Structure 1
Amino acid sequence: MRHPASSSERLAARPFSLAQAAAARLAALTGWRRRLALVGFGLFGALALPPWSLLPALPVALTALVWLWDAAPTRRAAFAAGWWWGWGWFILGLYWISHALLTDPLRFGWMIPFAVFGLSALMAVFYGLATLLAHLLGARGLGRVAVLAAAWTLAEWLRSWALTGFPWNALGSVWEASLPVLQSGAVAGLWGLCLLTALAGMAPALLAGPATPRRAVVALALALGLPLGAWTAGSLRLAAQPTVETGIKLRLVQPRIAQGTKWVEGLRERHLLEAVTLSRQPGADQVKAVIWPEAAAPFYLNLDGPHRAWAGMAAPPGGVLLTGALRLPDPDAASPHLANSLYALDGIGEMLAVYDKAHLVPFGEYVPLRRILPIAKITHGAIDFTPGPGPRTLTLPGLPPLSPLICYEALFPAEMVGADQPRPDWLLNVTDDGWFGLSAGPYQHLAAARLRAVEQGLPLARAANTGITTLVDPLGRELGRIALGERGILDVALPAPLPPTPYARFGDALPLLLALLCGAIGLATRKTC
């Protein structure tokens, strides 16, 4: 004889019944309604990214994706589930690209649909591959979330190097909103954060199955236990590691030069002198280095002695100026090369060191397949940039050794320190986010750079043309900031580095191993109800 369920049993079963009803409604969608739902949930999930950081949006979006993927009857439908969701995610996450094209709308405005919707479609392929792989592996039951999360992590990693790589707004980027959780990056890097995020975000989908205690425990452990555990461990790490100063003070300069005027012939000298004037404000004698953003000096400084001497006036007494500027290594060559460089200058404009950007932006700094695609690059000049030799550690008078990162290079976790280079004591990211106006782009770029500091256990100084200029310690704590769109200087003491983190020692091997282990566990439990 079956006894009536108690009120507590009915209450415990309610989440399952609600989840089952929601999953059934989504599974019933077909055709354009199904595609629209996937795109909509992808758009909604992207609200968890900086600067919005609406974290609860992500588990809602990922749970809906799992239920829609569950209903995919074919390989094509399984791929489409990830692709349509990813298209929505990237459309909102990458809308700011349109700002760069609107700096010269007559020349580049026509590219906006291709740059935003087309690039989003290309990036969504990787998410489609993740859902297809999980489908091909026969992920089912309790284990399917683990398999899908592992496949998703591998797809994010693949996206970081395929076709030169573009890991912008990987799933783990949402933890910019929580510095304690971000500390997990010191162990497993961005890809480990992606795995954690995918597991936690997809776990509520398990509630659409049979209402068993085991299923409830697994869903709760993944959805709440993983983030809470990471937050607790990160909070303890932050409390145990105070910021240790080195006694070396830096001056970061945010000149706020309008992108459309930077290379105007009659304004270039004025821009240079304004940057020098900002740099020489009271207190300059207390700093060891003045740091300008990417391309802050709008001259070819290696060829232009007078303007290089002007720039050198910004260097503090006995210190150096670190500035971005373009470089023509051999202007007399039949096919001259153009480099996006970081110069180190002394007070009289002598070049102490130079670093050439190695990881260039497709279409921004060079045009892939130029013989086939008759379009201009977006940045100044008609010549494509040539990549430098790779990550370098620079040693300069009065400063600890540093690893320079020019703009886009801060996105790539594995490219912070050259394999043949000594470990630096700090990272320097110079960038010109003026291309992106007051959009989400600069906030997302900063989030990537801050995670690099946590991953490596190194402080990171960031000088941006229009913002956001800041310095973070090796645990990602901000020690000062010039907000987006403001003009000014930031004098801040450089923190000491930490010993190499597990991620700095082992790189991507550890998070990829964790992803494979997670996938194996999921497959082993795929027949579990």
Structure 2
Amino acid sequence: MTGDAAGAGARGAAALLARTRTLGARAAALTGWRARGVLFAAGALATLSLPPVGAWPVLYPVFWLVSHMADGAGARRRRASFGVGWWFAFGYFAVGWYWIANALLVFSDRLWWMVPFAALGLPAAMALYYGVAGLAARVLRPGLPRALGLATAFVAADWLRGHLLTGFPWNVWGYGWADSAWLSQGAALGGVYALGALVLFSAMLVATADRHGARAGIVALVLAALIPITVAGYGAARLTTAPDPTALQDSDNAPGLRIVQAGIPQREKWPRRFAARNFDRHLRLAREGRPDWVRAIIWPETAAAFYIEESAPARADIAAMLPSGGLLLTGAPRQAGVPPRLRNAMVAIDGSGRVVASYDKHHLVPFGEYVPFKAVLTFGKVTSGAGDYAPGPGPRTLSLPGLPPVSPLICYEVIFPGAAIDPAMPPAWLLNLTNDAWYGETAGPYQHLQHARLRAIEQGLPLVRAANTGISAAFDGHGREIARLPLGGSGVIDLRLPPPLADPPPYRLLGDWVFVVLLILGCFGAVMTHARCGKLAQARPSVETDA
């Protein structure tokens, strides 16, 4: 009976693989606008793996489709192979980054003309990396070799996109598993780029299960399943043995913090007529109902929308608001250097109204905080103010009175995995000050929050996040959420700062070397399977041509 059941299961699996092979052949045969439309739609569908949806299993049918279409394109022109990567990535970015256009619509009276460049131009430019990846994978044989090559080339494109031309590693493939509490712990081993390699290797193994016979297909499916099962098992073990982060909230030893989210609309943030009202709102939220154990107040990016270092009355108001021995950490513009240049900064002010430390943002947003290629481009930056910001010297660890050493990260600095801390002076926690009011109630703030959470997992450090209109939150060193304020609201979070993990995670010690090893293994696997498939197909002439 058991043998009959096993035989029936094997026949059922073989029949399923045969059906998917037929569907795959139809996808591979698509050409022209039909192929482009399907690839764009597949990229759009892949964004469902990202916040706020987090449906990571959708990546398996998506990459099954892309793999089959890459095989079909490989039998045609090189341009078709480039198009597989480009059109798929274009759909992924155009839909995944739709919220960027919302930032321009905030001041639509003067920035409307830039919307097409943000909504389509940036995705089109970033998709070039993946078009080249599709072209590179073309040299490999169809099936498993090309699928492994495409996965490896895609994660290499992720890394290049995150580093070249100042870098923009938003929604790299590793975030496809980030919404899973267990799977996201894989970032502790090798960072988000290595996690992306595992995501794509697993998906591409499933994608090739219907192209190498029933037995080989079942082996591919088993291997594909083992990757997320192993990562999830590691994550489950890691979280099960971790202490409860909420237990610290009853401790008298951990530093007490208050995160303030004032909920100020972007159009009302910088005009002078709102300056006093906005400042008073932050003071009120920082003071009202505050527990005695809170010693440090945290305001978001540019919460003080003026040169607070140069305003003695404002610093006196802050000193009067602070508890005894307390400290305010606030985002604010400042002027520094010789000659003085504008900085996007974090300023620390003590109970006497004295500035005790400051940090200048070093990774500035192109076109948002400065305009590159100013000799050619004649328009100004899209944010308020005529002048460009100047960058600070790089990641820094600040020693502040009454607090553990901290690494400040302003706005999108938190999306860069390798630049979250100064390795020469490791901090005890991460502080992310941001203003996501630009993006309204879109997917952008949810994605930004997830990027911040993975920095906590990679570094094994608690992360505290203050956002002007949300989402403000706090995470422990395992990326577990302690508290959150919703998008679009105002309020405060009072919490005890968790300690860093006793044992730093591997990524903090090794950086991207785990990713490099996975990249080498992907290349080796693609080349070896290419050679193996070549031996099996020696009797058959290749049907591929560069005509």
Short-chain TM bin: over 0.9
Partners of 2:500 and 2:273 in 1: CA distance: 43
SS at match of 1:200: helix
C-alpha displacement of 1:139: 4.6
Name the counterpart of 2:57.
56
Name the counterpart of 2:521.
517
Name the counterpart of 1:3.
none
SS at match of 2:258: strand
C-alpha displacement of 1:212: 2.9
The TM-score with structure 2 as length reference comes to 0.92
Per-residue deviation, residues 349-368 of structure 1 (Å, max 9, x unmatched) = 21000000000000100111
SS at match of 2:348: strand
Counterparts of residues 54-453 of structure 1 (less than 5 Å): 54-72=55-73, 73-136=76-139, 138-222=140-224, 224-243=225-244, 245=248, 247-329=254-336, 333=339, 336-419=340-423, 421-453=424-456
Letter in 2 for 1:479: I
Partners of 2:197 and 2:315 in 1: CA distance: 47
C-alpha displacement of 1:80: 1.1
- Which has the larger displacement, 8-17 or 365-374? 8-17
SS at match of 2:259: strand
C-alpha displacement of 1:8: 4.6
Q: Contact 1:189–1:503 (CA<8 Å) still a contact in 2?
A: yes
Partners of 1:30 and 1:416 in 2: CA distance: 44
C-alpha displacement of 1:9: 4.6
C-alpha displacement of 1:442: 0.4
Partners of 1:436 and 1:462 in 2: CA distance: 17
Q: Contact 1:139–1:522 (CA<8 Å) still a contact in 2?
A: no
Letter in 1 for 2:67: V
Q: Contact 2:71–2:143 (CA<8 Å) still a contact in 1?
A: no
Partners of 1:175 and 1:315 in 2: CA distance: 41
1:500 aligns with 2:504: yes
C-alpha displacement of 1:295: 0.4
Per-residue deviation, residues 414-466 of structure 1 (Å, max 9, x unmatched) = 001124x3110000000001111110000000000000000000000000001
> Percent identity at matched positions?
44
Seen in structure 2, the aligned counterparts of structure 1 residues 362 and 210 have a Cα distance that, compared at 3 Å, is same
- Which has the larger displacement, 441-450 or 512-521? 512-521
Name the counterpart of 2:33.
32
Letter in 2 for 1:454: I
Seen in structure 2, the aligned counterparts of structure 1 residues 7 and 506 have a Cα distance that, compared at 3 Å, is closer
Partners of 2:461 and 2:150 in 1: CA distance: 33
Letter in 1 for 2:154: W
Letter in 2 for 1:478: E
Q: Contact 2:301–2:435 (CA<8 Å) still a contact in 1?
A: yes
User: Gaps (5+ residues) in structure 2?
Assistant: 1-6, 534-547
Per-residue deviation, residues 346-401 of structure 1 (Å, max 9, x unmatched) = 12321000000000000100111112111121222100010000000000011000
Per-residue deviation, residues 53-112 of structure 1 (Å, max 9, x unmatched) = 122322111111111111112332211100000000001110001111111101112111
C-alpha displacement of 1:141: 3.8
User: Gaps (5+ residues) in structure 1?
Assistant: 1-5
Partners of 2:387 and 2:10 in 1: CA distance: 71
Q: Contact 2:29–2:69 (CA<8 Å) still a contact in 1?
A: no
SS at match of 2:269: coil
C-alpha displacement of 1:286: 1.3
Per-residue deviation, residues 226-279 of structure 1 (Å, max 9, x unmatched) = 112111110110001114645211110101111001111111011001100100
Q: Contact 2:364–2:370 (CA<8 Å) still a contact in 1?
A: yes
Partners of 1:312 and 1:379 in 2: CA distance: 30
Partners of 2:519 and 2:431 in 1: CA distance: 31
Partners of 1:314 and 1:174 in 2: CA distance: 43
Seen in structure 2, the aligned counterparts of structure 1 residues 54 and 79 have a Cα distance that, compared at 3 Å, is same
The TM-score with structure 1 as length reference comes to 0.95
Partners of 1:443 and 1:273 in 2: CA distance: 28
Q: Contact 2:209–2:216 (CA<8 Å) still a contact in 1?
A: no
Partners of 1:119 and 1:438 in 2: CA distance: 21
C-alpha displacement of 1:183: 0.7
